[in-house]
Structures are given as structure tokens and as C-alpha cells.
């Protein structure tokens, strides 16, 4: 008999709606086989090995699905399927091949073989903790950057890697399991090639723009693919405009703006390494005459531009997450509001503001409320022309709100 985890009364509602996590304080007791027969213990008393597949039940005994237990984590069980544990463990290789194939088939509805996209999006693709980016370089070589961030996918690492090689047939796989969240799962950090060592820096084509991606040393998994479709949309608004692209990272928004016909683009980042990469990407696209990179703190630069009377026709605000926890929302609100307020003041009449937040905790209510207050304080009126999230390679799993994190608003500032 597989270990059975029983929830406290009335704790199963979210799980039935699709939420894939069970926290330690939601568990009533655990039943498992021991030398003394079937034992019932509290979570703290049980001796079930972390990384084991367990079956989850409502307090009244209704079967809810199977998951992987990890008592080192506050998220004690991460659900991996609605099947019974013996069905999953009879052929775990086949189980994960089916999961990877389903994720790949979904992306093929929207992307072609030359595209770069997120292939697996963790819980939203029913593989908790697993992120896989698929990059296709200009030579048509396919690279995967893979991140195992939880024990629930780490214990099936061999099966997942085998499935990826079988289905995707990548030229190279770089594992970037170096997020600090792994340590909360009791896992060590790892960052290296899996198998053959390939080039760490590659060039991909996004919306007919060339971008150098550093697989090993770039932020997170090397490149932010979630804004790809939004960058293409914004490019269509840039013809003849003077554009300010802030928190630029690789220069992708700015380069898309140049592709869309912008007459001048200034791309800003505080990181010297990022600015060096932006300059490389400017050269790759022969955009030296229209685009330049500036190394500066965006908050300080917006103040300087306001004092000096600089004006732009279109401004892009795509900052990193200002909060990664619920308790820091108010502090984040101040940061978001300041950059939006100053950007509105820098725009020419009827200018376009593209403003974004990638923090799940700073939800849509906070985000659009902040934009409204920034408009009020800058004595502007704002028309929201379009609202976007991440692309279709980042599906939103109903019942799991954390899968819907990106807000991208295209506004006209009057």
C-alpha cells in the first residue's frame, strides 16, 4: 500500500478545483505500512521518506490524486496526477513521456520548429517545479534549458530527461537548477551541461529580430520568452516614434521597436553586463543608427529626464518583480507607481505607455489601481488600449492562480 495522506476537514475544495499544492498545516494524518502493520501518525511523527509518491485523500476518505511528499518544505505534497500511485509508478517513464508530449503538442498549435518558447511550465503543464525552455538558434539547432526547482520533479529527473531527449531530440541540454528555492526543498544547486557540452551563447530569432542568449549566465533560464508576442504587438505601434525602453535586459523590446520603424530607441539597464549584451544585439541587427544602450538606474534616469525636459512618444516599463512575497506589496506599489508616474510626465501628448509587472503577488487589482493613481498624481488621463499576459506557451491552469502572473498594459496617456 502506498502511503496515504489525509487532509483536515474541508481542505479538499481547492485541490478539487485544480490547485496542485498541499501545505503542512492542511494535513490531518498519514497512514503507511511499517513493521507493525498499517500505522496512523501525524505528519511530524511519520517516517515516510521524502520524495516518495503518496496518495491524497479528503478527511472523509475520498481519493483526490497522487503527489510527491517533502516534509522539508512548507508545501508538503505537490500533486502530480489524478491517478492512483500504483498506476503512475507501474511505468513512470511512460507517465512523463505522456506529460512532455502533451506539452509539446500544445506548443505546436502556436509555434513552428524555428521558434523559441517555453516547452514546460511547471504546475500549469502538470509537472510541478519543472521549467523547460526550448531555444532554436539561427543554425536550427535546438537547445533546452531545464530547471528542476522542487523535489517532486527532481526524483523523476532521469525519466524527464529521457522523455525530453526522445521527444524533442535537442542538440544540447543545459540544466540551470540554481534557484535559491531549491534549498527550501532540501536540494543542492546545480548548473551545468547535461551530456554534451555545447556553446553557452547562442543567437535566436524572435519576431525577425536577432537576439544573443547566454544559456549559462543569463538571468533565470537565460531569456524572458513570456513577452515575445507582446513585443511584436508593441513593435506595430512604434513607426516614426522616439522610444524609451527601460529595464531592457537584452534589448528585446527596443530591438522590436526598431524593427517596427522607430526613429530612435534608448534602452536602459542598471547592469553593465546587460548593457554589453544589448550593444552586441544592436550590432547583430545593424541598428546602431537608431538604437543606443544606456547603463543607469531607471529610477534616477527618469528623474533626470524629467528635469531636463526630455520627451518620448512611447515608453516601455518592463521591470523585474518588485515583490516576490505578499507582505511586500505596499513597498512594491510605491516603486511601480513612481516609475509609471514619471513615465507619464515624459510622454508627448497622446503618447503610448507600455507598462508591465511580472509579480504574481502584485495582482491585476493592485496593478491597474496603481496605474490609475499614477495618472491622477501626474494630472493625466489614461486610456487602456490593450491588456496582455504571457504567451500561449505559458498556459494558465484554472485553480492555480500563480500560473497567471504577467500583466502588460498598453495605454494612451492624454
**CA gap 277, 320 in Å, rounded:** 18
Rounded to 5°, the CA angle 37-43-47 comes to 50
Q: Could you tell me where the DSSP H helices lie in 143-227? A: 151-154, 157-168, 181-184
Secondary structure of residue 54 in the 3-state scheme: strand
Nearest C-alpha neighbor of 182 from the set 257, 73, 332, 272: 73
**CA gap 56, 33 in Å, rounded:** 15
Alpha carbon distances (Å) from 178 to 62, 117, 149, 216: 38, 20, 8, 11
**CA gap 81, 155 in Å, rounded:** 15
Distance of CA 219 to the CA centre of its chain: 11
Alpha carbon distances (Å) from 55 to 50, 70, 204, 387: 14, 13, 43, 40
**CA gap 84, 65 in Å, rounded:** 6
Which of 46, 153, 356, 358 is flagged as catalytic? 358
Cβ-based neighbours of 197, under 8 Å, separated by 6 or more: 172
Residue 295 annotated in active site: no
What are the DSSP calls for 289-324, one per residue? Answer: TTEEEEES-HHHHHHHHHHHT--EEEEEE-PPPS-S
Known catalytic residues? 358
Amino acid at each position: 500500500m502506498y502511503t496515504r495522506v489525509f487532509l483536515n476537514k474541508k481542505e479538499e475544495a481547492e485541490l478539487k478545483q485544480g490547485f496542485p499544492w498541499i501545505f503542512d498545516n492542511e494535513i490531518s494524518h498519514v497512514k503507511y505500512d511499517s513493521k507493525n502493520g498499517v500505522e496512523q501518525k501525524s505528519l511530524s511523527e511519520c517516517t515516510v521518506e521524502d520524495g516518495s509518491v503518496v496518495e491524497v485523500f479528503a478527511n472523509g476518505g475520498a481519493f483526490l490524486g497522487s503527489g510527491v511528499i517533502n516534509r522539508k518544505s512548507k508545501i508538503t505534497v505537490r500533486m502530480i496526477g489524478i491517478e492512483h500511485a500504483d498506476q503512475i509508478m507501474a511505468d513512470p517513464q511512460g507517465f512523463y513521456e505522456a506529460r512532455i508530449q502533451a506539452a509539446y503538442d500544445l506548443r505546436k498549435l502556436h509555434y513552428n520548429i524555428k521558434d523559441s518558447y517555453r516547452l514546460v511550465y511547471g504546475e500549469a503543464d502538470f509537472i510541478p517545479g519543472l521549467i523547460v525552455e526550448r531555444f532554436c538558434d539561427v543554425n536550427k539547432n535546438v537547445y533546452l534549458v531545464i530547471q528542476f526547482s522542487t523535489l517532486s520533479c527532481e526524483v523523476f529527473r532521469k525519466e524527464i530527461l529521457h522523455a525530453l531527449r526522445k521527444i524533442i531530440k535537442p542538440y544540447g541540454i543545459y540544466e540551470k537548477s540554481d534557484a535559491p528555492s531549491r534549498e527550501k526543498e532540501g536540494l543542492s544547486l546545480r548548473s551545468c551541461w547535461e551530456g554534451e557540452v555545447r556553446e553557452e551563447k547562442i543567437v535566436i530569432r524572435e519576431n525577425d529580430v536577432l537576439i544573443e542568449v547566454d544559456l549559462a549566465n543569463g538571468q533565470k533560464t537565460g531569456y524572458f520568452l513570456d513577452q515575445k508576442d507582446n513585443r511584436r504587438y508593441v513593435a506595430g505601434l512604434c513607426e516614426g516614434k522616439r522610444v524609451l525602453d527601460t529595464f531592457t535586459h537584452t534589448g528585446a523590446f527596443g530591438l522590436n521597436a526598431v524593427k517596427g520603424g522607430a526613429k530612435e530607441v534608448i534602452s536602459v539597464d542598471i547592469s553593465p553586463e546587460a548593457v554589453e549584451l544589448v550593444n552586441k544585439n544592436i550590432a547583430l541587427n545593424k541598428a546602431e543608427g537608431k538604437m543606443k544602450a544606456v547603463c543607469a538606474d531607471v529610477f534616477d534616469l527618469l528623474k533626470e529626464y524629467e528635469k531636463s525636459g526630455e520627451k518620448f512618444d512611447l515608453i516601455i516599463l518592463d521591470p523585474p518583480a518588485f515583490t516576490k512575497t505578499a507582505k511586500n506589496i505596499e513597498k512594491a506599489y510605491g516603486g511601480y507607481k513612481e516609475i509609471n508616474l514619471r513615465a507619464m510626465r515624459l510622454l508627448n501628448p497622446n503618447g503610448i505607455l507600455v507598462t508591465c509587472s511580472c509579480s504574481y503577488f502584485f495582482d491585476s487589482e493592485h496593478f491597474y489601481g496603481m496605474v490609475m493613481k499614477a495618472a491622477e498624481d501626474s494630472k493625466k488621463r489614461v486610456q487602456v488600449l490593450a491588456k496582455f499576459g504571457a504567451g500561449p506557451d505559458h498556459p494558465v491552469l484554472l485553480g492555480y492562480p500563480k500560473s497567471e502572473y504577467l500583466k502588460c498594459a498598453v495605454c494612451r496617456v492624454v
